[in-house]
Amino acid sequence: MANRHRGEIDAVLDGRRFTLCLTLGALAELEDAFQSGDLVGLAERFASGRLKADDAVKVIGAGLRGAGHAVSDDDVAMMTTAGGAAGYAAIVSDLLTATFGDPDAQPENP
């Protein structure tokens, strides 16, 4: 079961439940893949709201590998999920929110 406090999410791919997590190593992988330069650049890229299918493959793949699953981006590209493209986008959005936080969230009142 995913622990949101550690940035983990659960997702169903190919009918199986997986935990995904963008660890520091997974984020470094994405910095390199997207040539973002740093974490701020990576966050800004994702904040644009635009998502290519290849971006989804890379983010989901990094999240799976970050959680310990031995999968390649080619493996991820062949996986299916409920909802098709919208399902993939939901997984990416949930994972990025778990990792970077929700910029629109209201702070909790202590």
Is the model's pLDDT at 107 over the cut of 70?
no
What contacts 9, CB < 8 A, 6 or more positions away? 2, 19, 20, 21, 63, 91, 94, 95, 98
Sequence spans of domains, the chain: 4-100
Instruction: Render pLDDT for 12-34 as a digit per residue (tens, 0 to 9).
Output: 999 999 999 999 999 999 999 99
Across 6-17, average pLDDT: 95
Helix locations, 1-110, DSSP H: 24-34, 39-47, 53-66, 73-77, 84-100
Share of the chain above pLDDT 70, in %: 93
pTM score: 0.90
Give the pLDDT confidence of 42-70 residue by residue, as tens digits: 988 888 888 899 999 999 999 999 999 99
Say yes or no to pLDDT of 110 above 50.
Answer: no
To which residue do tokens 């390199």 refer? Answer: 32
- Give me the chain's average pLDDT, please: 90
